[in-house]
Amino acid sequence: MSIRDLKTFLAIAETGSFAAAARSVYRTQSAVTAQMQALEERLDMALFDRTTRPPTLTEAGRNFIPRAAGVIADYERLFLEPEEQHLQGHLRLGAVPSVITGLVPRVLVVLRKRHPGLHVELAMGLSADLVNRVRRNLLDVALISDPLEPRMALRWSPFLREPLVLIAPIDAQTQSAEQLIATYPFIRYTQQAWVGQLIDRLLTRRRLRVHETMVLDTLEAIIAMVHAGLGVSIVPMRLIEPPGSLPVRRVTLPGPAVYRTLGLVEVQDHPKSPLSATLLEALQSLADQASAATLVAPAPEMRRRRKKIQ
C-alpha cells in the first residue's frame, strides 16, 4: 500500500467513478482498478460494491475515507511543517515565456519574503519542452498552458484562466473583431506553443479567415508588433501584466469565451511536491487577486482540481 493508492482511492470517492478518477490522476482505468484491488487485498476489506455500475463505496469504504485522508495529511505534514521556521529547499521551476515577465517575478518576490530559505532555479521554454523536462527529472515543476492531451503519470494543477482576446493597434478605429481581422494583417502565435494551437482551433471553429504576415513565439514580440500598427493578433489576456507593457486595444471575440488555463505540472508523488504546493498556493493567491481586480473569476473547479488528482 502506498500514498499513491490512498490518493487514487480518494479520487474515486470524490469523482464517483473509476473512469473519472483515472482521468483526474492521469492513469488508465485498468491501472486504477488494479490499484484498488491490491488495496482491498492489503486491507482485507471490500471498499467497493462491484455489483453496481459504476461500483459504489461500501460502508467500509465510506468509513475508510477519513482514515485515508488523515494518513495523506500526516504524510504531507512531514514536509510542509519542518522543524525550521521557514520552508527550505531547492526547486527547479520551468515557465512559459508569456508569464516570465509578469506573473513569475511577482510570485518569486512573494516566495522570497515568506520563505527566504527556499531557492528557486528558473528556466524558460514552451509547454511541450517543459513537460518533457519534467518527465526526465530535469525540472521539478513547470508553469505551463493547459495540456491539450492527457499526460500520464503527471499531475496537473490549474490555478488561473485567461480569456483569449483580439488585440489591435491603440489607434484602430472602433470595429468588431471580425472587421479588424478582415482589415489588418494577422500576426500568429506559433503553433509550437500550446496556446498557439488553442488559438488556431478557435480560428478554425469560428471560421475566421486571416491574412497572416508573421509568426512569433513570444507574447511580448506580438504585442510590440501590434502596438507598432503592423497587424492584429489573438492572444491570452494576461491578468498579471509586466511593468511597462505597451498599450494595445483589446476586443472581445465573437461567440462564447475561450480560455487558456495556466497551471503547474509535475511528476506524481514527486519528493519536492511540498515545495511545489507552496508555489501553487502563492500562485493561486496572486491569481485570485488579479481575477478580482479585473472581474474575471477563476473557474470554480480550480482549487478542487489539485486535490482530486493527487
Residue pointed to by grid coordinates 515545495: 275
Which of 140, 92, 90 lies closest to 119, judged by CA? 90
- Tell me if residue 185 falls in helix, strand or coil: coil
Q: Which CATH number fits domain 3-80: 1.10.10.10, 3.30.1490.20, 3.30.420.40, 1.10.1240.10?
A: 1.10.10.10
- Are β-strands 89-95 and 141-145 bridged in parallel, bridged antiparallel, or unpaired? parallel
Domain ranges of the chain: 3-80, 89-159+262-309, 162-259
Question: For residues 284 and 107, what is the distance between their CA atoms, to the nearest angstrom?
Answer: 10
Please tell us whether the domain made up of 162-259 is placed in CATH 3.20.20.70: no
In this prediction, residue 80 carries a pLDDT of 52
| pLDDT value for 309 | 35
Q: How much is the pLDDT for 152?
A: 53
Q: Which pTM value belongs to this model?
A: 0.66
pLDDT score of 76: 66
Tell me if 3-80 shares its fold with 89-159+262-309.
Answer: no
Please name the residue ranges forming H helices in the chain: 3-15, 18-24, 29-43, 59-80, 103-114, 127-135, 177-183, 194-205, 219-227, 273-294, 302-309
Position 207, amino acid:
R
Q: Please give the chain's pLDDT, 310 residues, in tens.
A: 678 888 888 888 878 888 888 887 778 888 889 989 998 988 898 999 888 888 888 888 888 887 887 787 777 666 554 444 456 788 999 999 999 999 999 999 999 988 888 899 999 999 989 998 998 889 999 999 887 665 556 888 999 999 999 999 999 887 889 999 999 999 999 988 989 999 999 999 988 899 999 999 899 999 999 999 999 999 999 888 888 889 999 999 988 999 999 999 998 878 888 899 999 999 998 888 887 766 444 444 444 444 333 3
Per DSSP, the residues of 124-174 read: E--HHHHHHHHHTTS-SEEEEEPPSS--TTEEEEEEEEEEEEEEE-TT--S
| Domain 89-159+262-309 is found in CATH 3.40.190.10 | yes
pLDDT at residue 13, as a whole number: 84
